[in-house]
Structure 1
Amino acid sequence: MALTASGCDAPDWELSGIEQLPLPGGADLGDDPYEITAEFTDVLSLVPQSAVKVNDVAVGRVTRVNLAEDDWTARVTMRINRGVRLPADAVARLEQSSLLGEKYIQLAAPEPRPDTARPAPGARPAGAAHPVAAPAGPLTDGAHIPVERTNRNPEVEEVFGALSLLLNGGGIAQIKTITTELGRALGGNEPEARSLLRRLNTLVTSLDGNKAAITAALDGVNRLSATLATRRQSISTVLTGLSPGLKALERQRTALLTMLRSLDTLSAVAVTTVDKSKDDVIADLKALTPTLRALADSGRALPDSLQVLLTYPFTDEVLRGVRGDYLNVYLDIAAVPGTEIVPALTPPDENPPPAEDTPPAQDTPPGGNPPQGQGAAPPQGTAQGRSTTPGEGGARRSGTAPLPLPFPSAGRAG
C-alpha cells in the first residue's frame, strides 16, 4: 500500500509501509525537527521508527536504515527535536532497552580524556604553534557522525556464546585446578604467605615512592639507547675488532688454564710457607723491638749523623779550607829587603810597633836598595813578607794573601 498526499501548507510525504506510521507514545519531534546521519559497522536488528535518546530520554526517531556507499557499513538517518542541543562531535551508540527489549540509538557528548585537560578556547598550549580553536558548534541539520564515533553493545547471543565456550571449553576446569593447587600450597603455610604479602606490600610501596627515580633511570636508559643507536657503526667496528682477540684467547686457553693452575699451586705453597714461618717472623720482629726503640729515641741525632757520614771524609769543615779547585794556604815568609811584590801588597798596619828583639832599620841596605819601610817588597812568589832574622836589617811587616798551589810565577826580583 502506498499513499501520496500533497497540500499547500504540508510537505510531500510517501507511505511505503506500515512501519512508517508513528507509534503512539513516541518522541515529540516538534514542528521543525532536524535530520542527521550516522554510520555503524553493524546495526543488528535496528529498524525504522526506533527511538533516538539522549540521557535515556527519547528526543527523536530513526527514519531510514540503508547500506552506505562503501557497501561495508550501515547508514542510519535520524530526526531529532530541534530543541535538543548536542555538540558537533557527538557520539552515537547502538543499545538495547533490556535483555530482550528493542534496539535504540543513544546520542551523547564525547567524554573528556582524563589524562589531559582541555585548554580554554583561544589559549595556546606549550609547544603549540597556534592557539586552540574553539570547539565546533552544535549538531545541526545534515550533520554526519562517522563510524569512528559509533559503536554498539554486545548481543545476548554473543554473551551466551562466550559463556558456553567458558563452560564447555575448559575455563571452569582450569579455575578449579588453580584453586585446588593454591589451597594445597597455602595449607599450613599461612605465616609464610602473610610474610610474603607483607614483603610484597613493602616492595610495591618502595617502588611507588621511587617512581620519579625509576622514571629518571628509564629516561637515562632511553638516552643511552639513542646515543648507542647513533654510534652503531663505531660499536660494530669495535665488536669486529674484538673477534681476532677472542680467537687468540681461544687458542691460548690451555696455556691460560695451566698458568692459573700454577698460580693456584704457588699460592698454596706461599700460604703454607707463611703459616710455618709465622712464629719465626714474629720472634724476629720482637727481637728488633729494642733496636727500633733505640733508633726512635735517638731523635734528631740520627739524621745529623747520617748527613755527616755521607760527606766523609769531606765534611762541612773542609769547605773552610778548600775553595773551588785550590787549597788555601796561609804562610809566613821572610823576604829579603828590597824584594818587589807583584801585585803590590798593602800591609794591614802602616806604623806597626817595633819588636823588642828587632834591631833598628838600616838607612841603606847593601846593594843600594831603599829600606823595606820605603817601598820594599817581599821576594817573588810570596804571599807575606816578615823579617824574622836579626842582622838582615829589614823591618817586620806582616800581611796575608791567599796563594794557590802550585805557586804561579807572578813576580820578578827587584
Structure 2
Amino acid sequence: MIERRKRTRVAAASAIALTLAVTGCEWNGLNSVPLPGTEGRGEGSYSVQIQMPNVTTLSQNSPVRVNDVAVGAVTGIEVQDWHALVTVSLNEDVNLPANATAKIGQTSLLGSQHLELAPPLGVAPEGTLRDGDVIPLDRAGAYPTTEQTLSSLSVVINGGGLAQINDVTRELNAALNGREDSIRDLLPQLDQLVGSLDSQRAEIISAMEGIDRLAGTVNEQTDTLARALDDVPPALEVLVGQRQNLTGALIALGDLSDTATRVINESGDDLKSNLASLSPILRELAGTGDALTEVLSLLLTFPFTMKTIDQVFQGDYANLNMMIDLTNQRLDENFLADTGLGVTLGGLEGALGSIAGVAGQANDPLGIPEPSGPDLIQPEPTPVSAESDSPGGAPTP
C-alpha cells in the first residue's frame, strides 16, 4: 500500500514536470494554466492581441466580455515597449469590427476584473476583427476602479464644496424667507424670459457668429492695430501741447453760443416778420415754374439763349438779323422824354404823322425808300437790316 502511494506521487510529480516542460518550463501560478470549461477554448476560436496602457489587476484566464456576455478569455500578458500586450482567445461566433475598442472593467466589488470588447463609439465600424489582429493603444483603456471612485468621492466630501452645502442652504433660506410672493411672481417672469430667449435663438446665434467674424477680422488686423496704438502717444502729445488753444476754442464757442442765443431772443419778432415776408416771395418764385430756369439759361449768354448760341456763332463769324428803329420820333421818346429838349426831334414827323421826306418803304431792307407825296402817311418805322460776316460779329449799317 505504501509503495503504491509512492508510485502515485512519483507519477503526479512526473506529470507536473512534463507539463512544465511542455509550457516552456515557466510557472506563474494556477492562473497560467488553461482552465477547462472557459470560453474561447473551443474549436474555431481565434486570438487577438491588445496593447493596454495599464492592465491594473487583470490576470490570465480573466473573462473577455461583449455586451456583458463572456465570449473568451485572457491567454497571455506580457510587456512590450513600455506598455502591456494582452492576448485573448475568442469564440468562433464573436463578430466585431476591425476598429473595436477594449477596456478593462471591474466585475464585482471584490476586485475581480474582465476585459470588455465593443464597437467604437461615434465612429463608423470598419472591417471585421480576425485572428492575429492587434487593437492599438489609442483604442484601449480601463474603466474607473472602485478604489479610484472612492478616492474621488473622498476628495469631494473632504476637500470639495460638499461641506459648504449647509452654509449655502442657510443663506438661501435667509434670502427667501418672507419673500415667497415675490419669488412666486418671479418664476413666471423667468419662464417668459427663458421662452423669449429660446424664440430668439437664431438671432442670438447670428449675433455670436457676427462677433466671431468681427474677432477674426480684428485678429487679421493685429499689425495695423499695433501700429495705430504706437501712433496714439505722439497724437496725445500734440493734443496736450494744444490744450490751451483747445480750451480757448471751447470757451469762445460757449461765448458764441451765448451771443447767438441773445441775438435770437432779442430779434425773435423781427426774424418772424422777415420769415413771414419771405413767404410770398418764395410762393411767387415757386409759381414761376420753369420760367425762372429758362431765364437763368439766358443770363450768361445774353442776348442769345444757351440752346441757340451754337447756331448763332459758327466758328469765327456770327449770324445776326436785327430791326433798328432810328426815327426822330422814336429817338425823342426814348432819350429826350421828360427833358427840355422833348419833342424837338419828333416835331415835324409827329406833325406829318410820317417820316419826313419818305412816304414808303423799299422791298429791299438795304435799299432806299421810294419818295411819295405828303398825302401818303407811313406811320410804321423804316426797318434797316444788316448782316455781318466780320470776325468780330459787328453789324454793318
Provide the TM-score with structure 2 as the length reference.
0.61
Q: Post-superposition shift, 1:250?
A: 2.5
Amino acid corresponding to residue 371 of structure 2 in structure 1: R
Q: Post-superposition shift, 1:95?
A: 0.4
- 2:179 is equivalent to residue 157 of structure 1: no
Q: 1:85 aligns with which of 95, 116, 120?
A: 95
Q: Distance in 2 between matches of 1:23 and 1:263?
A: 103
Q: 2:164 aligns with which of 171, 174, 177?
A: 174
Where in structure 1 are there 5+ consecutive unaligned residues?
119-133, 316-322, 336-344, 350-381, 390-398, 405-409
Relative to structure 1, the CA distance from residue 254 to residue 98 in structure 2 (aligned partners, 3 Å threshold; closer, same or farther) is farther
Residue 97 of structure 1 corresponds to: 107
Q: Distance in 2 between matches of 1:299 and 1:221?
A: 51
Name the % identity: 27
Residue 371 of structure 2 corresponds to: 386
Q: Distance in 1 between matches of 2:31 and 2:362?
A: 157
Residue 57 of structure 2 corresponds to: 45
Contact 1:52 1:58 in 2 (8 A): yes
Relative to structure 1, the CA distance from residue 297 to residue 268 in structure 2 (aligned partners, 3 Å threshold; closer, same or farther) is closer
C-alpha distance after superposition, 1:15-48 (max 9, x if no partner): 7232233446532521242222212222111111
Instruction: Give the superposed CA RMSD.
Output: 4.6
Q: Post-superposition shift, 1:74?
A: 1.9
Contact 1:62 1:76 in 2 (8 A): yes
Q: 1:228 aligns with which of 221, 232, 235?
A: 221
Residue 366 of structure 1 corresponds to: none
Q: Distance in 2 between matches of 1:400 and 1:327?
A: 8
Mean CA deviation greater in 48-57 or 58-67: 58-67
Q: Post-superposition shift, 1:236?
A: 5.1
Question: Aligned with 2:18: secondary structure?
Answer: strand
Q: Distance in 2 between matches of 1:264 and 1:403?
A: 69
Residue 62 of structure 1 corresponds to: 74
Question: Aligned with 1:159: secondary structure?
Answer: helix
Length, aligned pairs only: 309
Residue 135 of structure 1 corresponds to: 126
C-alpha distance after superposition, 1:43-84 (max 9, x if no partner): 11111111111111111111222222x22x222121112221
Q: Post-superposition shift, 1:265?
A: 4.3
Question: Aligned with 1:4: secondary structure?
Answer: helix
Residue 319 of structure 1 corresponds to: none
Relative to structure 1, the CA distance from residue 143 to residue 179 in structure 2 (aligned partners, 3 Å threshold; closer, same or farther) is same
Amino acid corresponding to residue 34 of structure 1 in structure 2: Y
Q: Distance in 1 between matches of 2:100 and 2:33?
A: 28
Q: Distance in 2 between matches of 1:293 and 1:55?
A: 99
Residue 329 of structure 1 corresponds to: 326
Residue 395 of structure 1 corresponds to: none
Q: 2:198 aligns with which of 185, 194, 205?
A: 205
Contact 2:323 2:383 in 1 (8 A): no
Question: Aligned with 1:162: secondary structure?
Answer: helix
Residue 4 of structure 1 corresponds to: 18
- 2:236 is equivalent to residue 246 of structure 1: yes
Amino acid corresponding to residue 326 of structure 2 in structure 1: V
Residue 174 of structure 2 corresponds to: 184
Question: Aligned with 2:115: secondary structure?
Answer: strand
- 2:36 is equivalent to residue 36 of structure 1: no
Residue 342 of structure 2 corresponds to: none
Contact 2:361 2:382 in 1 (8 A): no
Amino acid corresponding to residue 76 of structure 1 in structure 2: V
Q: Distance in 2 between matches of 1:236 and 1:385?
A: 98
Where in structure 2 are there 5+ consecutive unaligned residues?
1-12, 304-319, 329-354, 375-380, 387-396
- 2:384 is equivalent to residue 402 of structure 1: yes
Question: Aligned with 1:37: secondary structure?
Answer: strand
Q: Distance in 1 between matches of 2:46 and 2:282?
A: 115
Mean CA deviation greater in 45-54 or 29-38: 29-38
Q: Post-superposition shift, 1:274?
A: 3.8
Contact 1:333 1:384 in 2 (8 A): no
Question: Aligned with 1:49: secondary structure?
Answer: coil
